[in-house]
Amino acid sequence: MNREYHKWFSPSLQRDMELLIFGHAGDPVLFFPTRTARFYDYEDWQVIDALRRKIEAGDIQIYCLDSIDKESFYAKHLHPSERILRHLQYEKYVLSEVLPLIQLKNPHPTIVTAGCSLGAWHAANLAFKYPLLFHKVVGLSGRYDLTICLEHFEDLFDGHRDQNIYFNMPSQYIPFLHDGAIIRQLRNLEIIFVVGEKDIFLENNLEISNALWSKNICNALHLFDGESHKARYWRHMVQLYL
């Protein structure tokens, strides 16, 4: 299996960024890490190995991104408005630096976004904001509104609300989306949510799925037994849905 390590200084983030590529051809997949995780964790957790057959067959090519969550959502020393702005710099890095690399390595017309836990939010939010760039989004064990408090998952903005936060929370902006052009673009996406029946994010997954259906935007919501919010379950999920 082809494996490549890349590192460069990001103008968008003003710091070095690293990523791993697995595979030589097929649908390019932007694979976002879990909460505060690193670009090598999916490899260490054997999630990449679970996809080995598809990767070696040239069906998919995985781009494992690094996170800056500790500088954005979990940077408690920053005001919440600064946290979301730092995230938007990360989004700029993905759009203006990683996507050109993908086009250079694998010139597919569109891309797949995917992620687990917080990575699922990254994947869905990016695809919903820029649907023309993508053709499929896979969210595993995701929370699509980072302002809700659920057990040990806190409101990442400490009660602060502003437009930058609102327009990056799919569970908030999708129900009030009325732009016909954007809705038509979203209808061209293959949208897949996967969550455990006892995952505390289940209700939020039902909400975002129903909000999309209310706009006649097709999506699939698959339920796994139990909580299913660990790497051993994600290894199975990616085989089925990625």
The total number of residues written for the chain in this structure: 242
200 pLDDT more than 90 = yes
Q: Give the tokens for residue 55.
A: 């990767």
State the chain's mean pLDDT as an integer. Answer: 97
CA distance 241 to 237: 6
Q: What pLDDT score does 109 carry?
A: 87
pLDDT band at 207 (very low <50, low <70, confident <90, very high): very high
Give the tens place of pLDDT for each residue, 113-167. 999 999 999 999 999 999 999 999 999 999 999 999 998 899 999 999 999 999 9
Give the tens place of pLDDT for each residue, 165-197. 999 999 999 999 999 999 999 999 999 999 999
Q: Give the tokens for residue 45.
A: 């957790």
What SS3 string covers 163-193?
A: HHHHCCCHHHHCCCCCCHHHHHHHHCCEEEE
* Vertex 65 angle, CA 238 and 141, to 5°: 40
What average pLDDT does the segment 48-74 reach? 98
Q: What pLDDT score does 152 carry?
A: 84
DSSP secondary-structure letter at 38? -
- For residue 139, list its beta bridge partners: 115, 193
Beta strand pairing status for 27-32 and 190-196? unpaired
CA distance 167 to 172: 8
Q: What pLDDT score does 78 carry?
A: 98
CA distance 170 to 192: 14
Give the tens place of pLDDT for each residue, 23-50. 999 999 999 999 999 999 999 999 999 9
Model pTM score: 0.97
% of the chain exceeding 90 in pLDDT = 97
CA distance 146 to 178: 22
